[in-house]
């Protein structure tokens, strides 16, 4: 079958290779499957929003049990009303590869709220680093608003390529979300121009997989 299929034998074990010299899938001698080059796949890990003391700031940040969203009113404040999420990277993640965090929300007008994120990431055993602030704007939106109705919008973090190159197995990614209505952070072009409630749906990361998991519990 040319270079598309190769069965190798060496002593007491065999290896299966499918693909070419750069992009291929292999089953190792112990049965572990690994993917290289373009043979990798993508998956996602998602979390719904959890807010500390949500009900103590009623009217600013509230649970919406009709739309199953977390609603940031246009009087929500930074840094007073954070909503935090913690995600652990999957063992199936390709070593040194980037993850792609993004936010799902319901957009009902041709504008984008002042979505402010504060994030940090660290390996197991590392010292805990400081936080980084980043403004998410309309240029980070994946879809163009059609002009009427409600759509599920995805807003990317658009972190630089190579941001997670040094991150190991099952590292931690912490993130806080704010609606910076008054542009207190000064990271936006001005005051929040989104009218009324911002309905935040959930947050997730996409990650590239080269295996179904790790060979050992703490070793890729």
pLDDT tens track for 1-13: 445 555 555 444 4
Cβ pair 118, 178 in contact under 8 A: yes
Give the pLDDT of residue 31. Answer: 81
Of 37-41, 54-58, 83-87, where does mean pLDDT reach its minimum?
Answer: 54-58
Identify the residue whose tokens are 């008054």: 182
pLDDT tens track for 89-112: 999 999 999 999 999 999 999 999
SS (H, E, C) 144-173: CCCCCCCEEEEEECCCCCCCCCCCCCCCEE
The pTM (predicted TM-score) of the whole model is: 0.83
Cα-Cα end-to-end distance for the chain: 31
Domains belonging to the chain, first-starting first, are 1-39 (no CATH), 41-209 (2.60.120)
């Amino acid at each position: 079958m040319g270079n598309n299929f190769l069965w190798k034998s060496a002593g007491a074990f065999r290896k299966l290779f499918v693909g070419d010299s750069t992009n291929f899938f292999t089953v190792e001698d112990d049965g572990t499957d690994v993917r290289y080059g373009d043979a990798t796949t993508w998956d996602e890990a998602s979390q719904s929003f959890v807010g500390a003391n949500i009900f103590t700031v009623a009217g600013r940040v509230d649970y919406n049990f009709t739309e199953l969203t977390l609603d940031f009113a246009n009087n929500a404040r930074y840094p007073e009303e954070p909503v935090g999420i913690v995600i652990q990277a999957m063992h199936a993640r390709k070593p040194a590869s980037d993850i792609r965090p993004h936010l799902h929300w319901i957009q009902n007008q041709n504008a984008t709220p002042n979505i402010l994120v504060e994030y940090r990431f660290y390996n197991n055993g590392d010292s805990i680093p400081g936080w980084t602030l980043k403004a998410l704007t309309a240029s980070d939106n994946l879809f163009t608003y059609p002009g009427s109705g409600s759509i599920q919008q995805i807003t990317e973090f658009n972190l630089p390529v190579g941001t997670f190159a040094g991150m190991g197995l099952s590292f931690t990614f912490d993130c806080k979300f704010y609606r910076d209505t008054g542009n207190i952070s000064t990271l936006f072009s001005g005051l929040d121009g989104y009218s009324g409630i911002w309905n935040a749906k959930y947050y997730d990361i996409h990650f590239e997989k080269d295996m179904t998991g790790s060979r050992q519990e703490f070793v890729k």
